[in-house]
Amino acid sequence: MAHRAIWSLLACLLFLTYQKQLRETFALIKNRRTFSLLALTSLLLSLNWGIYIWSVSVDRVVEAALGYYITPLVAVTFGVGVLKEHLRKYQLISVILATIGVVILTVAYGRLPWIAIGLAVSWGSYSLIKKHLNAGALQTLSIETLVAIIPNATYLIYLLSKNEAEFGQDVGFSLALVSAGLFTVVPLLMFNAATTRLPLTITGLLQYITPTIMFLVGIFVFNEELKVSKLLGFVFIWSALAFLGTDLVKSSRSANQGRN
């Protein structure tokens, strides 16, 4: 995670320089309220990255996939509880189905699926705060990684002092660590470009691709066990997402008809 933050910052600086956005980014840093909020989102982002990396290292990829599946549902819950938005019929059904699914998975796991909940809540909270920031994604990510670089760089320096650092020991592994920066920043830029070119319904439904790939990798690559009880829980989650996707399509059509 430390390398991801450091190389992401360097990648962000390169893109900021190329797009001539350095001055605007420094202006955001000088704004006390904006910087304070970005320091908080930096903490949430680091927490999300840390939970995800740990879940992969202990062969809990399927549970991590669950976290990203229920993230949109957490966002809906935050919208109601924090932003005082009203639930539409399909949204209410999706929340009920997701709650049942999480309860089933809790019983199936014999514990609360805290990896999934941690990922969903941290990313949902991150998105909620970012909703109130009037700034570009590249600029905000640059500041977030800048805040995170202090503890991460300190940790890497500590490893170097103890001769425990892996970086530089193997060329292939070192290049993989460096590439983490590009693999973090480039998809973000591509997603931002897509949001200006694609309908909201498409970009909203595309967010389910990542957890689906994670789920399949967990089952077929890491050979994680998927009992019938766990599969039943996922069926409820997938059903909830189907209703949420339907609501997204219906609301988008209504908005388009209203504009026409």
Residues 4-28: tens digit of each pLDDT: 788 888 888 998 998 899 999 999 9
37: confidence class by pLDDT, cuts 50, 70, 90: very high
Distances (CA, A) of 25 to 15, 42, 94: 12, 15, 39
DSSP tally for the chain: helices H, then strands E: 11, 0
Rounded-to-integer distance, Cα 88 and Cα 90, Å: 6
Name the nearest CA neighbour of 74 among 32, 117, 36. 117
196 vs 25 pLDDT, higher one: 25
Tell me the helix, strand and coil percentages in the chain, rounded to 5.
80, 0, 20
The predicted model gives 77-103 an average pLDDT of 84
**Contact indicator for 185, 12 with CB cutoff of 8 Å:** yes
pLDDT at 149: 86
Provide φ and ψ at 167, rounded to 5°.
-65, 130
Q: What is the mean pLDDT of the chain?
A: 84
